[in-house]
């Protein structure tokens, strides 16, 4: 029997650790299995689908660039996540951009973290407490945001490597190799997220406890930290090089940092006490919440009292390390250092704290009195089953982006704008522009500062797609007056002006964008686009009733060139029905109607093309697309789902 393992009653065969671990991992996998069919959602679109760095294998670029790279929006933040960029890029190449592999990697990393936590607890408390601690962690419903959301892997991988650093570390002069392996794990975790530093804090806490318990000399405890310090120094150097020139995170002026930290602390305490109701967008930075601030103050006071007691009576090193792991990881997200988010708290930030608390609880179970051991373990088992049900239900929200954001709007704190923005984005991607515009309008009414700018900009884009161009320009200019305009703001306004056929104003906005960001590719392309649209418009006579079909076809082409299919639609419908339509004009009209017109008009246009002897290949493509649309397998943008 290993030291510290709980005694087994005579005649009773101890549970097999391997079978218990397999059962836990099987339950976690089953609860999360739905994520494999989930799509990309939220930041995944920007970080994976739209980031060219992800679509090529370029290791130097992974290491030497900041995590967020929004180019013309000039909002690159000083976050550094090369491990995330690297894994995204490799998975994009392996899966050809399909999300199932990304989700599978997230789930695999979570299972590995759960197994590692099991092993850490088993060393101290035996297999049963280890299984329950691992299950409570692996099935915790508030951790679904990290596991089911591809972009949430920052915390999953950071948590795995931070726990690995803790598991690999060994004190004493003869265990140098183990400490360097621990440092390598720590460095790997930092490449995914800074919160992996909790692993080194936990190692330091173990060394402190051994020193206070006179199990290790103080000088030796400090020397044991050298490999970890080297790993942190190497990471800091890389980070400084990669994020040089990045825009620091800013939050609105007038924020009371102490009140915000207390509020964040209180919210995390409440979230841990209410594990079965995970949700997005928790709390709003800049809004007071006295109740949560008071709860946070009480929690910090209790923590201070426990710290004083621990100083006087040092706990076992393993328990000290686990508690330090939890405290350090939660301290990193208490808004003391500004975070690039408008929310006070988030479920994903609980990944490492919950791991630390589960580890501490599992280790402490070895010291339970015999009379308490069985009821506590039974209660933990019941909680684990409840967690499994909660996670299974929450995972379903992540399998559909529209469902996810409708749930977020329904459950978020009143007045928060961002659930509405994200709901608007999901609706916009599905072509439900009217509903998206209403969601953006609701977001703008709830937001302030730069967050209001984002909401107004989205609202303007939706209005422009609806053909309400005067309103779109007014909303975009209002957004640009809130904060210094970015290149993308001028670019968007140029699109709206071009759609109003105000080409001089459109070109002026593009030149302003290029002044802010020389070489801005979208603006350079935009100037060519504006010139082409101007040429098309200048070649058209003033519109009048009964004009030739060929002229109507050119008007349709102009509005399509300007990105306004709603304006082009009536012209294409007329061209498709005109007996004197040219074959090429008829083909374009039929393609548009198959994609975005009524099914009846599309059928008639395809029949006319067939009668006119259109190329067989073109007819086959249109027939297939029309059949797919009629069967419900065709997207509103004209692509098979």
Query: What is the average pLDDT across 547-575?
Result: 90
What is the Cβ-side half-sphere exposure of residue 618, based on CA atoms within 13 angstroms? 17
* Selection from 334, 335, 151, 338 nearest residue 247 by Cα: 338
Q: Give backbone dihedrals phi and psi of 42, rounded to 5 degrees, phi first.
A: 55, -125
Distance, in Å, from the CA atom of 121 to the CA atom of 129, rounded to the nearest integer, reads 7
The yes-or-no verdict on residue 635 having pLDDT over 70 is no
Distance, in Å, from the CA atom of 272 to the CA atom of 484, rounded to the nearest integer, reads 40
> So what's the pLDDT on residue 247?
64
Place of tokens 């790993």: 231
pLDDT in tens, 562-618: 888 888 989 999 888 888 888 888 888 888 888 888 888 888 888 888 887 778 888
Burial degree of 551 (CB within 10 A; 0-12, 13-18, 19+): middle
Query: What is the average pLDDT across 497-522?
Result: 94
Distance, in Å, from the CA atom of 395 to the CA atom of 32, rounded to the nearest integer, reads 7
> So what's the pLDDT on residue 637?
36
Rounded to 5°, the CA angle 314-320-322 comes to 165
pLDDT in tens, 517-534: 998 999 999 999 999 999
Q: How confident is the model at residue 640 (pLDDT cuts 50, 70, 90)?
A: very low
Task: Take residue 87 and report the two structure tokens written for it.
Answer: 């894994």
The yes-or-no verdict on residue 401 having pLDDT over 80 is yes
Provide the mean pLDDT of the chain: 88
> So what's the pLDDT on residue 175?
83
What contacts 441, CB < 8 A, 6 or more positions away?
Answer: 459
> So what's the pLDDT on residue 251?
59
Query: What is the average pLDDT across 478-501?
Result: 93
* Selection from 314, 303, 327, 315 nearest residue 367 by Cα: 315
Query: What is the average pLDDT across 340-368?
Result: 90
pLDDT in tens, 365-380: 888 888 788 888 899 8
Higher confidence at residue 33 or residue 246? 33
The yes-or-no verdict on residue 634 having pLDDT over 60 is no
Q: Give backbone dihedrals phi and psi of 566, rounded to 5 degrees, phi first.
A: -65, -35
Q: What is the pTM of this model?
A: 0.85
What percentage of residues in the chain have a pLDDT greater than 70? 93
Distance, in Å, from the CA atom of 116 to the CA atom of 10, rounded to the nearest integer, reads 29
The yes-or-no verdict on residue 2 having pLDDT over 60 is no
Q: How confident is the model at residue 118 (pLDDT cuts 50, 70, 90)?
A: very high
* Selection from 232, 241, 141 nearest residue 188 by Cα: 232
Burial degree of 542 (CB within 10 A; 0-12, 13-18, 19+): exposed
Query: What is the average pLDDT across 445-469?
Result: 90
Report how far Cα 17 is from the mean position of its chain's Cα atoms.
35
* Selection from 570, 606, 578 nearest residue 590 by Cα: 606
The yes-or-no verdict on residue 344 having pLDDT over 90 is no
pLDDT in tens, 182-214: 999 999 999 999 999 999 999 999 999 999 998
Query: What is the average pLDDT across 165-170?
Result: 95
Q: The domain at 409-538 falls in which architecture?
A: Alpha Horseshoe (1.25)
> So what's the pLDDT on residue 231?
96
């Amino acid at each position: 029997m290993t030291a510290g393992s709980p005694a087994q009653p005579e005649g009773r065969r101890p549970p097999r650790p391997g079978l218990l671990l397999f059962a836990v991992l099987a339950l976690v996998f089953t609860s999360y299995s739905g994520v494999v069919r989930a799509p990309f959602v939220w930041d995944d679109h920007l970080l994976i689908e739209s980031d060219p760095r992800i679509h090529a294998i370029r290791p130097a670029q992974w290491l030497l660039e900041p995590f967020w790279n929004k180019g013309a929006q000039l909002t690159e933040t000083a976050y550094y996540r090369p491990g995330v960029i690297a894994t995204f890029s490799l998975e994009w190449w392996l899966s050809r951009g399909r999300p199932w592999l990304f989700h599978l990697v997230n789930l695999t990393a979570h299972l590995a973290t759960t197994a590692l936590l099991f092993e850490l607890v088993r060393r101290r408390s035996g297999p049963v407490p280890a299984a329950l601690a691992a299950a409570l962690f692996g099935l915790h419903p508030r951790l679904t945001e990290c596991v089911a959301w591809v972009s949430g892997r920052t915390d999953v991988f950071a948590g795995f490597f931070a726990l690995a650093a803790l598991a690999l570390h060994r004190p004493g002069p003869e265990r140098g190799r183990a400490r360097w392996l621990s440092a390598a794990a720590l460095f790997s975790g930092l490449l995914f997220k800074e919160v992996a530093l909790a692993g080194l804090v936990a190692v330091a806490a173990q060394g402190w406890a051994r020193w206070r318990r006179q199990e290790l000399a103080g000088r030796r405890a400090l020397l044991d930290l050298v490999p970890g310090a080297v790993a942190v120094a190497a990471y800091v150097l890389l980070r400084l090089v990669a994020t040089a020139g990045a825009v620091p995170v800013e939050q609105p002026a007038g924020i009371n940092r102490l009140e915000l930290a207390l509020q964040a602390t209180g919210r995390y305490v409440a979230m841990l006490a209410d594990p079965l109701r995970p949700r997005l967008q928790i709390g709003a930075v800049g809004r007071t919440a006295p109740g949560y601030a008071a709860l946070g103050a009480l929690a910090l006071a209790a923590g201070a009292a426990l710290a004083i007691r621990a100083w006087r009576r040092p706990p076992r090193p393993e328990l000290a390390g686990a508690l330090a792991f939890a405290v350090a990881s939660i301290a990193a997200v208490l808004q003391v250092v500004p975070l690039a988010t408008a929310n006070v708290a988030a479920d994903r930030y609980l990944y490492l704290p919950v791991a630390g608390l589960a580890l501490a609880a599992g280790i402490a179970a070895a010291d339970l009195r015999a009379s308490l051991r069985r009821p506590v373990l039974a209660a933990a088992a019941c909680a684990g089953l409840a967690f499994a049900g909660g996670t299974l239900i929450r995972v379903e929200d992540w399998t559909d982006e529209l469902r996810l954001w409708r749930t977020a709007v329904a459950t978020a704190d009143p007045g928060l704008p961002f659930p509405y923005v994200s709901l608007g984005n999901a609706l916009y991607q599905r072509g439900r522009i009217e509903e998206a515009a209403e969601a953006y309008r609701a977001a703008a009414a709830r937001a302030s500062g730069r967050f209001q700018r984002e909401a107004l900009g989205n609202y303007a884009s939706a209005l422009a797609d609806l053909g309400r161009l005067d309103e779109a320009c007014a909303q975009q200019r209002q957004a640009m007056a809130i904060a210094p305009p970015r290149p993308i703001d001028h670019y968007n306004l140029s699109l709206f002006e071009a759609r109003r056929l105000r080409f001089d104003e459109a070109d002026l906005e593009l030149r302003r964008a290029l002044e802010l960001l020389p070489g801005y590719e979208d603006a350079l392309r935009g100037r060519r686009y504006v010139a082409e649209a101007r040429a098309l418009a200048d070649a058209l006579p003033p519109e009048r009733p009964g004009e030739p079909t060929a002229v109507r076809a050119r008007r349709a082409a102009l509005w399509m060139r300007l990105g306004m299919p709603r304006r082009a639609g009536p012209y294409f419908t007329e061209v498709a029905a005109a007996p004197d339509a040219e074959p090429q004009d008829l083909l374009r009209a039929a393609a548009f109607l198959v994609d975005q017109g009524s099914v009846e008009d599309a059928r008639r246009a395809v029949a006319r093309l067939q009668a006119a002897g259109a190329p067989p290949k073109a007819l086959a493509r249109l027939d297939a697309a029309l059949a797919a649309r009629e069967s419900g397998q065709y997207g509103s943008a004209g692509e098979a789902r």
